Structure 1
Amino acid sequence: MSPNPERFAVRVDPGELHFNAAHFITFGGTCENLHGHNFHVRVEAVGRNTGDAFVLDFVELTRLAAAICRTLHDRVLLPGESREVAITPEGDALRVESHGRRFVLPADSCRVLPVSNATAEMLAWHIGGELIRALREAGSNRGLETLEVAVEEADRQWGVCRREVAP
């Protein structure tokens, strides 16, 4: 192999990479109203071609990413690492407080994520991390160097996270 091997990329943006979810974000000392979106996800994997002459199998990449999207579907997405949002279990509910707002939500309808804010960018970061973990577990990250995940929150408004993938 040459010292500067060529890089290749695969992109997937199929219909099954979506989820409908509610969220709010905090910014500037305020907390938005709880609201929902029909989120769409696009994934790009960059790296060296494997011996089979592809970076990743499109079908496997789509299958793994769709499985992650399903964990977010029909949930209220909460930022579990936020300094501005307090999440307290109360029986089978979660009390969520931020900047004078208070929500009491059924716990089984929520997904507390390891993010500081439930922005499209942080959702892309979370999905990317889960996808890298799933690819490693499947042994499918052989030539993968960079994974970019984009989350469309509203028409033509994307939050994007590009992550370097350690071997």
Structure 2
Amino acid sequence: MNETVTIRLAKQAMKFSAAHFTIFSASERERLHGHNFRVEVDIEAHMLGNGMCFDYGIYKDTVIALCRELNEWMILPTRSPYLQIEEQGEHVIAVFNGQRIPFLRADVLLLPIENVTLEEFAAHFLTRLTADRDELRQHRIRAIEVRVFSGPGQSAGRRLRVDP
């Protein structure tokens, strides 16, 4: 059977709250603020012929776990060309445009992303969900799209098509 189906995962637990600032250029950034982010995942897969495609609970649980990893942190990007990160004992110092912005180390999550944006969060989730390509092929998954929302009507999505 070659029929495909799209499974949408959008559970109440697929959310996280985080503080951040977005960097626009070498000299301009947002003020520190936070959002209650929500995550949805669409998975396109081949039907198995028994009325289902695969046990998508595996991916639901993974997304919920990833949300928990990001929940209640001040998130700083480690790959920004405009932001330097210094660690000094109990503090993390974000250096931007000559300003030193101190945070308690216990409150900061350093992520390997270029900027703290919806686009980068979507890419972060997508990378983590698609790390095991053999598992994706085993589940006959053709594509995965992750969409991250910062509020109603505002989201970004990233999609990966899985090679057969």
Indicate the TM-score class for this superposition, using the shorter chain for normalisation.
0.7 to 0.9
Which runs of at least 4 in structure 1 moved beyond 6 Å after TM superposition? none
Match of 2:59 in 1: 61
Question: Does structure 2 conserve the Cα–Cα contact (< 8 Å) formed by 1:8 and 1:46?
Answer: yes
Distance 1:95 1:12, change over 3 A: same
Give the structure-2-normalised TM-score.
Answer: 0.88
Q: Is 1:24 matched up with 2:18?
A: no
CA apart distance, 1:80 = 1.0
RMSD of aligned residue pairs (Cα, Å): 2.1
Q: Distance in 1 between matches of 2:86 and 2:54?
A: 41
> After the TM superposition, which residues 58-137 of structure 1 pair with which residues of structure 2 at under 5 Å, given as runs?
58-133=56-131, 136=132
Match of 1:49 in 2: 47
Q: Secondary structure of the equivalent of 1:19?
A: strand
Structure 1: gaps (5+ residues): none
CA apart distance, 1:62 = 1.2
Give the structure-1-normalised TM-score.
Answer: 0.86
Q: Distance in 1 between matches of 2:45 and 2:23?
A: 35
Report the identity percentage: 28
Q: Distance in 1 between matches of 2:111 and 2:58?
A: 24
- What letter corresponds to residue 21 of structure 2 in structure 1? F
Distance 1:105 1:144, change over 3 A: same
Q: Distance in 2 between matches of 1:17 and 1:154?
A: 14
Structure 2: gaps (5+ residues): none
- What letter corresponds to residue 105 of structure 2 in structure 1? A
Q: Distance in 1 between matches of 2:48 and 2:82?
A: 44
Which deviates the most, 154-163 or 18-27? Answer: 154-163
- What letter corresponds to residue 97 of structure 1 in structure 2? V
Deviations 1:10-45 (A, max 9, x none): 001010000000111111441111110000000001
- What letter corresponds to residue 65 of structure 2 in structure 1? A
Aligned residue among 6, 9, 25 for 1:9: 6
